[in-house]
Chain A
Amino acid sequence: MIVNGKQKIWSEYQKDIPDDHYFYVRSCIRQNFFPASEKIFLDIVQNKLGLDFFETEHHTTCGGIAYHSDTIPMETLMTIVARQFALMTEAGYKNYVASCITSFGIYTEILETWRHFPELEAKVRENLWTVTKREFNKPEYLAHASDVIYKLRNQIASASVNKLVNKETGEPLRVVDHIGCHYSKMFPSKGVGGAEYPYVLTGMIEAWGGEIIDYPERRHCCGFGFRQYLVKANRGYSLSNTHKKFESMKPFKPDMIITNCPGCPYFLDRWQYVISEMEGKTYGENSQGIPVFTYEEVAGLVLGYDPWDLGLQIHQTGVEPLLDKMGIVYNKADKYKL
């Protein structure tokens, strides 16, 4: 590995991420899979760092799940997105930040489509007005929430209580980063670090004391892939994708996985249990599994949040061995508190 080569690419794919004043939209499925992640994100930016992040209960799905499942047409999707932008406009914001990677991909794709086909944008504006009597401005800046945490990574590091370090040996934890496919694979220039060697999570891990692992199936899908999982008959593809990734990362002995996508932490986490049941094979040190985290959860651990307030008890793969490795003190009984 030639680190300078990667640094050169990273320097070419940098986003000018605004510091403050965002309209925040949640993900549909994250609130069920890892509900504390979005709560912690807002707590970090609003309460710990005192930034202006506005959210409204009136926003809906972006339509991404339906779009990628082939159940709604593009025009419907665009009109749903136009309504989200109208809510942002009405609230007086210009920077739009999405919690979900697929939403980020959808917004990016639609804004690019409108740039090339303004007649489509005009049609969508007409649709939105007909249905809701709403108008909208396009966001001046579109971010994914991981871009924001990337931007704040050094501030978080300065306020850190824990580091991504093995407390006994002082060695950095070995971390696998998994980037959601819809982050930058469609539009490399829209992601920090581009599509081939994204830096958005690597930057966080480096800032918080860990060491990133580059392994052969790093770019591969986590296994969600929408129809791979949503169509029941295809679920074998979903599982085999995840299995392929774990087999590939295994020789590198990772301590943990960090993700920035709603589906990825879920599938990388849950399928480990299924692989164990099907093949009797368990990954990770002492066959305890490799814990999988969202970047908000990792930021929360670094900032000293109680692991159970981060919702880590919802994970399938136990996180306790990693917490012990990092020297994080926690109450075992609190894992089951309501």
Chain B
Amino acid sequence: MNKQVLVIGGGPAGLETAGQLENLGYKVYIVEKSDKLGGHLLKWDRLFPDSISAAETLQKLLEPVVHITTFLGCEVVSVNKTGGHFYVQLSNEATLSVSSIVVTAGFSLFSAEKKEEYGYNIYNRVVTSADIESYFKTKSDDRIQNPKSIGFVHCVGSRDEKACNKQCSKVCCITAVKQACEMKELYPEADVYCFYMDLRMYGRGYEDLYLEAQSQYGIRFIRGRVSEVAEDETGRLVIKAEDTLSSKPLKITLDLLVLMVGMVKNSDNEKLSSLLNTRLGDDGFFQCANPILRSTEGESEGIFFAGASTGPKTLPESINEAKASALAIHGYLSKQK
């Protein structure tokens, strides 16, 4: 048994797992299919609920892995397990022999075009939560031109059987509140509306931010889903919704509509799962050995998980799970001869 571990996925969970394992004395490899480490965090500006810089957070995650062998733009092609060893072939033709594999492949963002009624990529002023986060970073997006009225639609592609995603994405409610406050900071004169089903403010500081959004920023929360979006003759958006608390239909004209896109499984999860001889759940995310006691362990020996590869998670949850996964791997390898 060698002391080598392969981390599949170079997002926050992968970086934290790799850093922890290196500290524990293991030789670690990271395989990342994109051309940069950092995952979705690369595109984010500030993190809820305390507006911590995403770039600084990522920098802190990258520092411990600077000496780790990393394969960028690279995917796992085949995996053969013999005894306690995994022989892994990569798409760059490198071959690795490792004793354990940890899947930190994360999630994909729901494709907003699938909710056709919201008009993403049909109407110019409809953007996603990812687009607006990028706007916060760059302050540049042709679709955002001094908006006077802004709407946020929660649960786009989450808790939605029609979109084949029943799961709650966990982060969208608080992200919408954070982004609504940030838009209000940028455009103090704008009217900002949030259309929600439930507000799941379960984390520490979330409820405080939600109350602050109402009392200090004047953001209006409307319980109801947007049913359709259209453009008027000037290019502004006309949206229809129902306020289910007052049981009244609404029609509002907006300058910008932000769709809070949820977390969905990666399209290549099936392939990776097949290579690793693991199972996926009905939601398409990886299945762990036991969701309560062994949430970082796979059903096959030597396979581990961390982060959103096993379902939607917040960033702190992913980081904590990465630490737990590293410890579980250490425990597993310590018992091997």
Interface residues, chain A, with chain B CB atoms under 8 Å away: 1-2, 4-6, 8-9, 194-197, 214-219, 251-252
Best-buried of B117, B122, B123, B124 by chain A (most CB within 10 Å): B122
Chain A's nearest CB lies how many Å from the CB of B161? 15
Sample (26) of A-B pairs whose CB atoms are under 8 Å apart:
A1-B122, A1-B124, A1-B231, A2-B121, A2-B122, A2-B123, A2-B124, A5-B113, A5-B120, A5-B122, A9-B113, A9-B116, A194-B116, A196-B116, A196-B117, A197-B116, A214-B230, A214-B231, A215-B233, A216-B230, A216-B232, A216-B238, A217-B230, A219-B228, A251-B232, A251-B233
Q: Are A9 and B233 in contact (CB under 8 A)?
A: no
Q: What 1/0 flags go to B228-244 for Cβ under 8 Å of A?
A: 10111100001000000
Task: Identify the closest chain B residue to A217 (Cβ).
Answer: B230
Q: Give CA–CA (A9, B232) in the complex, Å.
A: 21
Best-buried of B113, B116, B238 by chain A (most CB within 10 Å): B116
Q: Which residues of A are found within 8 Å of B233, using beta-carbon distances?
A: 215, 251-252
Known: A5-B113, A8-B113, A197-B116. A216 touches B122 (CB 8 A): no
Q: Which residues of A are found within 8 Å of B121, using beta-carbon distances?
A: 2, 4-5, 8
Q: Identify which of residues 97-120 in chain B touch chain A, using a CB-to-CB cut-off of 8 Å.
A: 113, 116-117, 120
Q: Give CA–CA (A316, B230) in the complex, Å.
A: 30
Q: Give CA–CA (A194, B117) in the complex, Å.
A: 11
Q: Which residues of B are found within 8 Å of A1, using beta-carbon distances?
A: 122-124, 231
Q: Which residues of B are found within 8 Å of A219, using beta-carbon distances?
A: 228, 230
Q: Which residues of A are found within 8 Å of B123, using beta-carbon distances?
A: 1-2
Q: Give CA–CA (A252, B238) in the complex, Å.
A: 15
Q: Identify which of residues 235-276 in chain B touch chain A, using a CB-to-CB cut-off of 8 Å.
A: 238
Best-buried of A2, A6, A197, A216 by chain B (most CB within 10 Å): A216
Q: Give CA–CA (A252, B234) in the complex, Å.
A: 10
Q: Are B122 and A197 in contact (CB under 8 A)?
A: yes
Interface residues, chain B, with chain A CB atoms under 8 Å away: 113, 116-117, 120-124, 228, 230-233, 238
Q: Which residues of A are found within 8 Å of B113, using beta-carbon distances?
A: 5, 8-9
Best-buried of A2, A194, A218, A252 by chain B (most CB within 10 Å): A2
Q: Which residues of B are found within 8 Å of A2, using beta-carbon distances?
A: 121-124
Task: Identify the closest chain A residue to B253 (Cβ).
Answer: A216
Q: Which 4 A-B pairs have the closest CB atoms?
A: A5-B121, A196-B116, A216-B230, A216-B238
Task: Identify the closest chain A residue to B121 (Cβ).
Answer: A5
Q: Give CA–CA (A309, B124) in the complex, Å.
A: 44
Q: Which residues of B are found within 8 Å of A215, using beta-carbon distances?
A: 230, 232-233
Q: Give CA–CA (A320, B124) in the complex, Å.
A: 37
Q: Give CA–CA (A251, B231) in the complex, Å.
A: 12
Q: Give CA–CA (A40, B123) in the complex, Å.
A: 37
Q: Which residues of A are found within 8 Å of B232, using beta-carbon distances?
A: 215-216, 251
Task: Identify the closest chain B residue to A194 (Cβ).
Answer: B116
Chain B's nearest CB lies how many Å from the CB of A8? 7
Q: Give CA–CA (A1, B236) in the complex, Å.
A: 10
Q: Give CA–CA (A217, B229) in the complex, Å.
A: 10
Task: Identify the closest chain B residue to A213 (Cβ).
Answer: B233
Given contacts A1-B124, A2-B122, A5-B113, 19 further A-B contacts (CB under 8 A): A1-B122, A2-B121, A5-B121, A8-B121, A9-B116, A194-B116, A195-B116, A214-B230, A214-B231, A215-B230, A215-B232, A215-B233, A216-B230, A216-B232, A216-B238, A217-B230, A219-B228, A219-B230, A252-B233
Chain B's nearest CB lies how many Å from the CB of A251? 4
Chain A's nearest CB lies how many Å from the CB of B256? 15
Chain A's nearest CB lies how many Å from the CB of B237? 9
Q: Which residues of A are found within 8 Å of B120, using beta-carbon distances?
A: 5
Chain A's nearest CB lies how many Å from the CB of B138? 21
Q: Give CA–CA (A218, B122) in the complex, Å.
A: 15
Q: Which residues of A are found within 8 Å of B231, using beta-carbon distances?
A: 1, 214, 216
Q: Give CA–CA (A169, B121) in the complex, Å.
A: 32
Q: Which residues of B are found within 8 Å of A5, using beta-carbon distances?
A: 113, 120-122
Q: Give CA–CA (A2, B125) in the complex, Å.
A: 10
Chain A's nearest CB lies how many Å from the CB of B242? 15
Task: Identify the closest chain A residue to B124 (Cβ).
Answer: A2
Q: Give CA–CA (A6, B121) in the complex, Å.
A: 8
Q: Which residues of A are found within 8 Å of B117, using beta-carbon distances?
A: 196
Q: Give CA–CA (A1, B123) in the complex, Å.
A: 5
Q: Are A218 and B124 in contact (CB under 8 A)?
A: no
Q: Give CA–CA (A103, B113) in the complex, Å.
A: 31
Task: Identify the closest chain A residue to B234 (Cβ).
Answer: A251
Best-buried of B113, B124, B233 by chain A (most CB within 10 Å): B233
Q: Which residues of A are found within 8 Å of B230, using beta-carbon distances?
A: 214-219
Q: Give CA–CA (A5, B111) in the complex, Å.
A: 13
Task: Identify the closest chain B residue to A196 (Cβ).
Answer: B116
Q: Give CA–CA (A215, B232) in the complex, Å.
A: 6
Chain A's nearest CB lies how many Å from the CB of B206? 34
Best-buried of B113, B120, B228, B230 by chain A (most CB within 10 Å): B230
Chain A's nearest CB lies how many Å from the CB of B114? 10
Q: Which residues of B are found within 8 Å of A4, using beta-carbon distances?
A: 121
Q: Give CA–CA (A2, B124) in the complex, Å.
A: 7
Q: Which residues of B are found within 8 Å of A194, using beta-carbon distances?
A: 116
Chain B's nearest CB lies how many Å from the CB of A193? 10
Best-buried of A5, A8, A251 by chain B (most CB within 10 Å): A5
Q: Give CA–CA (A299, B210) in the complex, Å.
A: 57
Q: Give CA–CA (A299, B122) in the complex, Å.
A: 29
Chain B's nearest CB lies how many Å from the CB of A252? 6
Task: Identify the closest chain B residue to A13 (Cβ).
Answer: B116
Q: Give CA–CA (A196, B306) in the complex, Å.
A: 39
Q: Give CA–CA (A8, B112) in the complex, Å.
A: 13
Q: Which residues of B are found within 8 Å of A9, using beta-carbon distances?
A: 113, 116, 122
Chain B's nearest CB lies how many Å from the CB of A184? 11
Chain A's nearest CB lies how many Å from the CB of B83? 48
Chain A's nearest CB lies how many Å from the CB of B127? 12
Q: Give CA–CA (A119, B120) in the complex, Å.
A: 42
Q: Which residues of B are found within 8 Å of A216, using beta-carbon distances?
A: 230-232, 238
Task: Identify the closest chain B residue to A9 (Cβ).
Answer: B116
Q: Give CA–CA (A4, B233) in the complex, Å.
A: 19
Chain B's nearest CB lies how many Å from the CB of A95? 28
Task: Identify the closest chain B residue to A252 (Cβ).
Answer: B233
